[in-house]
Amino acid sequence: MRKRGKSRRFLDSKLGQVWIETVIYTLIAFVMIGLVLAYAKPKIEELQDRTIIEQSLSMLKDIDNTILTMGGAGNQRYFSLEIKKGDLKIDGVSDRLVFEMNSKYLYSEPGRQLMDGNIVINTAKSGSTNFVNLTRNYPDYNISYNGLNQIKTISQSATSYNLAITNKGGSPLNIDMVVT
Band the pLDDT of 88: cuts 50, 70, 90. Answer: very high
β-partners of residue 137 are: 96
The predicted structure's pLDDT at residue 127: 86
87 contact partners, CB below 8 Å, separation of at least 6? 99, 100, 101, 153, 154, 155, 156
More reliable by pLDDT, 14 or 157: 157
Whole-Å CA distances, 123 to 111, 115, 143: 6, 12, 25
**DSSP-derived secondary structure for 82-113:** --SSSEEEEETTTTEEEEEEEESS--S-TT--
Lowest-pLDDT choice from 12-26, 68-82, 98-112: 12-26
CA 47/CA 107 separation, integer angstroms: 11
- Give 150's strand partners: none
Question: Running DSSP on this structure, what letter comes out for residue 13?
Answer: S
| Closest to 68 in 3D by CA, of 119, 28, 17 | 119
Angle at 73 between CA 67 and CA 75, to 5 degrees: 60
Q: Is the pLDDT of residue 61 over 70?
A: yes
pLDDT digits (tens, 9 = 90+) for 112-160: 999 999 999 999 998 889 999 999 999 999 999 999 999 999 999 999 9
Confidence of residue 6 (pLDDT cuts 50, 70, 90): low
Q: Which amino acid is at 77?
A: R
φ/ψ (deg, to 5) at 110: -60, 140
State in Å, rounded, how far the first CA of the chain is from the last one: 78
